[in-house]
């Protein structure tokens, strides 16, 4: 899990960014993608959304963004995020980023 910069005043200031782009890229077996990658991401987002459903502390409910702008998969092959390093080794991984007000 990573922190992301404050997005005060933007509509997505209560948004968890959840990305599995590294798994999509490095898991080349179609069965793995179909049977593991998509269901894991869907389950994680459903859990995050449910966790905050009844929370009254936020004027805008925190939500899960399943396709964020920053995905943890960098184009440079010499530098890898932690989620990319895990996916390269065949370990399921996600990059989750949360704004300061949700940490």
Confidence class of residue 103 from pLDDT cuts 50, 70 and 90?
confident
74 CB-near residues (< 8 Å, 6+ apart): 80, 81, 84
Q: Given this model, what pLDDT does residue 2 score?
A: 53
CB 2 within 8 A of CB 95: yes
Residue 36 to residue 99: CA distance in whole angstroms? 27
Phi, psi of 58 (to 5 degrees): -115, 135
CB 56 within 8 A of CB 62: no
Confidence class of residue 8 from pLDDT cuts 50, 70 and 90?
low
């Amino acid at each position: 899990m990573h922190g992301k910069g404050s997005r005060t005043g933007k509509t997505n200031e209560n948004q968890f960014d959840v990305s599995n782009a590294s798994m999509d890229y490095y898991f080349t077996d179609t069965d793995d993608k179909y049977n593991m990658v998509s269901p894991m991401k869907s389950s994680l987002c459903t859990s995050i959304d449910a966790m905050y459903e009844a929370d009254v502390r936020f004027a805008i409910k925190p939500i899960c963004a399943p396709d964020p702008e920053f995905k943890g998969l960098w184009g440079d092959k010499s530098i890898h995020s932690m989620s990319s390093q895990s996916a390269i080794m065949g370990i399921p991984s996600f990059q989750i980023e949360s704004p300061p007000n949700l940490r």
